[in-house]
Amino acid sequence: MLTRTKRVLSDGTRIEDLVDRPNREVSLSVMNDAELYQIEMEKVFGKTWLLLGHDTEIPNSGDYVVRHMGEDAVIVTRASDGQIYVSLNVCPHRGMHVCTAESGNAQVHRCIYHGWAFRADGSFIGAPVERERMHGDLKSKEQLGLKKARVALYGGLIFANWDVDAPSLEESLGDMKFYYDMLFKRTDNGLEVLGPPQRLTIDANWKTAGEQSACDGFHTLTLHRSLLERGIMGGSGGDEVAEFAPGMYGINVGENGNTLRCIPVNTTFTLMLGESMENLSVDERFEKLPPPGIMPSMLPEMKRNMTPEQLHVMSVAPPQVGNLFPNVNILFIYAPLRDGTMGSGLLLHTIVPKGVEKFQWLTWFFAEKDTPDDVKKLMRAAASQAGGTSGMIEQDDSDTWPHMTESARGFMGRQETLKYQAILGENRPDDWPDKAKVYNGFSKDDAQWLWWEQYFALMTN
């Protein structure tokens, strides 16, 4: 058991000793420790804003999906007042899941065990045989509703948090909201999901994927080498990997464990179009190669929705990949479409823990709502091919995470450390906005270490 005042595990290990901040090392044991995992459910998944879906998944009154906050199942529903509510999917009578379906439409959720019924907003309606008051007299109906989480919507994304004292979602994003707006709030009508999320269960600790999502660009050189050699991720062939990976040079930004990788437009122009953008104006750059997911017809509204500083970033090095702490992976990438044209794939992954050695990988595909239907189909296919459950990128990544988890099971393996000592240092280009921490150059460990700093802060609080 954890001694809260000393933050000590039952074997005598102090949690603060698991993360060696001066030397930027993390004990490999964190990737396979059942006691630590239970503390994470409280300290991380019980106190942070967690992505549960998108409001276009539940457009109508009564629509709902069942998702997870850590290992807690929740009902995400749109009530008759049009508001979105997130309620614990646990009947307060005897602990049965109130909702056993993954999605659907219901104005009333009735527990199949004893028939206790709840409105879409989680409030208790009553038990069968009302005159017999089968819910008893000790508690009022107002006290018997489903537990509700705080809810925040951002760019259509649905977030929830159990902690009533936690900072708001906007405060948690901090200066990173400046960059996330360029992905999620670019157009008048915003994004929509392209079908239900894909699901894949991976035999690995959730942190193996969580921390990699925080701009671990280094692994691209080796783990994704075949994609580089084929020109899919910016490669052009050759013996020295670093020499044919120009996409490794860019700008990483981060704050509060949230990070994004901004890839220079000049690199993209060279790799995708075989030409330079040096002599092109900002408008000409956007017209030739709009940011991923933006159709040329959407450029006027994109310019209206973005500030001059944001448009500058988008024209120089738009954010494309990164994370939302603790368990979201973002890929808004350029990708070839099936019709032979250069397009994009927009997707988000969430990493849902299912035990110390298992997590569920959920993948949503997106497009701007005003994208033509035929293009949406092409974008979904491109995103699925690149980053879906059987995508080229994720086949590589998901091969490593179980190995790391298994390594952390061994007596000697647990004594090894994860090292984040390739330090670039804060290095802001002269024309770059003063937003978040900025690391300009070859992608190193700086942004990824921010993920562990946030994890450390939560786990030792």
Q: What is the pLDDT along the chain (461 residues), one digit of tens a residue?
A: 444 445 899 999 999 999 999 999 999 999 999 999 999 999 999 999 999 999 999 999 999 999 999 999 999 999 999 999 999 999 999 999 999 999 999 999 999 999 999 999 999 999 999 888 889 989 999 999 999 999 999 999 999 999 999 999 999 999 999 999 999 999 999 999 999 999 999 999 999 999 999 999 887 778 777 666 665 555 454 545 545 566 688 999 999 999 999 999 888 777 667 777 778 888 988 998 899 999 999 999 999 999 999 999 999 999 999 999 999 999 999 887 877 777 899 999 999 999 999 999 999 999 999 999 999 999 999 999 888 887 777 777 878 999 999 999 999 999 999 999 999 999 999 999 999 999 999 999 999 999 999 999 999 99
Among all chains, which residue has been given the structure tokens 């002599």? 279
The answer to whether the Cα torsion of 332, 337, 340, 343 is positive or negative is negative
Of 130, 165, 200, the one marking the end of a domain is 165
CB 446 within 8 A of CB 255: no
10 falls within a domain: no
Note whether 262 and 335 are same-domain residues. yes
Q: Which of 156, 9, 133, 19 is nearest to 450 (CA)?
A: 19
Tell me, yes or no, whether 267 lies in a domain: yes
Is 44 within a domain? no
- Domain membership of residue 6 (yes or no) is no
Q: Are residues 331 and 438 located together in one domain of the fold?
A: yes
Confidence (pLDDT) at 3: 46
**What pLDDT, in 10s, does the model give residues 210-248?**
999 999 988 777 877 766 666 555 545 454 554 556 668
Are residues 195 and 99 both part of a single domain?
no
204 and 329 housed in the same domain: yes
Do 226 and 309 fall within a single domain? yes
Q: Say if CB 149 and CB 86 are below 8 A apart.
A: yes
User: Could you say which of 165, 192, 225 is where a domain stops?
Assistant: 165
Please say which residue of 112, 130, 165 terminates a domain.
165
Split into its structural domains, the chain has a count of 2
Q: Are 213 and 328 in contact (CB under 8 A)?
A: yes
Domain shared by 271 and 400, yes or no: yes
Q: Per the domain annotation, does 31 fall within a domain?
A: no
> 190-228 burial string, b = 16+ CB within 10 Å, else e?
bbbbbeebbeeebebbbbbbbbbbbbbbbebbebbbebb
Phi/psi of residue 245, nearest 5 degrees = -130, 65
* Residue 152 counted as domain residue: yes
Residue 5 lies in a domain: no
- For residue 269, what pLDDT is reported? 77
Say if residue 200 is in the same domain as residue 60.
Answer: no
User: Which DSSP category does 8 fall into?
Assistant: B
Which DSSP helix (H) or strand (E) runs through 405?
A: helix 392-407
Q: Which residues span the domain enclosing 138?
A: 50-165
Our CA dihedral for 74, 75, 81, 82, rounded to 10 degrees, sits at 100
Cα(268)–Cα(366) distance, integer angstroms: 21
CATH number of the domain bearing residue 134: 2.102.10.10
